[in-house]
Structure 1
Amino acid sequence: MTVATASRPAGRQSNQRTFSGYGSSGSDIDVRLVARSIAQAALEVLAGTRAVSQLSRSLDPDCYVALQHRAALTRKHAARVRGNLQPHRSPMVRSVRTCSISEDICEASIVVSEELRCRAVAMRLERLDGVWRVTALEIG
């Protein structure tokens, strides 16, 4: 995804904030970027355009099994409803909001638009050894 920005006059500063977690430091990965990519990937798994195994490092075992089960049910339902598979357009993340619970725990809500509807994704991320991992995932 590319973003085009207009040039800003030299005297004007950006009012955009970055959020790297609770005790923000420049070397931390922005938790919003992590939440964004995991939400996009999870919806692509449900759409059948991505293998669930690609999320094995980002999801804890319970979330991984639940997503794998839901993807299987979605594929089964889609095969029954649609005779011919239509090309799928990738879901587009519209917004990401995060709330820091502690230094190593953060919750995120993501709005994703698909072809026919918008969906909400909620997740709880915990940082272990400097890596963010999803411990709770809800996809609406």
Structure 2
Amino acid sequence: MTMILATASRPAKRQAVKRTIAVYGSNGSDVDVRLVARSIAQAALEVLAGTRPVQQLSRSLEPDCYVSLQHRAALTRKHAAKARGNAQPHRSPMVRSVRACSISDTICEASIVVAEEQRCRAVAMRLERFDGVWRVTALEIG
């Protein structure tokens, strides 16, 4: 199934371009994988910032990714407590862009740019669809 998106308004000399974007889903409920990647990336950075519990991502991440994120969040909190004297939460990160590349009908790779309070970060992930649900099988946060 495809979805048609129109770009934002352009100057009078140029017309809006419509592009077709592949959307994968199952059981009639099509979900754009970019939306899934966006929400998981934002949630993962909120875990690192200490504003979201890692358990909320247990269904979205493969066990290896989950344990790795849990470990990194613990190290981040420990470092923040030493550097600042207390574990002060950051403001919520804001996703700036999401790019996805379809490898097959059940595998997709995504790159996400996220703006935080003092810097921008890159997130890369590989998503695989199991029983109609997208799960992250590889996660890298810069």
Shorter chain as normaliser: what TM range? 0.7 to 0.9
Q: 1:104 aligns with which of 103, 106, 115?
A: 106
TM-superposed deviation, 1:74: 0.1
Instruction: Write out per-residue CA displacement over residues 68-108 of structure 1, whole angstroms, 9 at most, x where no aligned residue.
Output: 00000000000000024545211000000000001100000
Question: What's the TM-score, normalizing by structure 2?
Answer: 0.83
Equivalent in the alignment of 2:83:
81
Structure 1: state its 5+ residue gaps: 7-11
Aligned length, in residue pairs: 130
Structure number with higher relative contact order (C-alpha < 8 Å, ≥ 6 residues apart)? 1
C-alpha separation in 2, matches of 1:102 and 1:26: 19
Q: Does 1:131 align with 2:141?
A: no
Equivalent in the alignment of 1:9:
none
C-alpha separation in 2, matches of 1:87 and 1:67: 17
Give secondary structure in 1 for the equivalent of 2:126.
Answer: strand
Q: CA RMSD in A?
A: 2.4
Structure 2: state its 5+ residue gaps: 1-7, 10-14
Question: What's the TM-score, normalizing by structure 1?
Answer: 0.84
C-alpha separation in 2, matches of 1:64 and 1:85: 22
- More deviation in 84-93 or 66-75? 84-93
Q: Does 1:30 align with 2:64?
A: no
CA contact (8 A) 1:19 1:31 kept: no
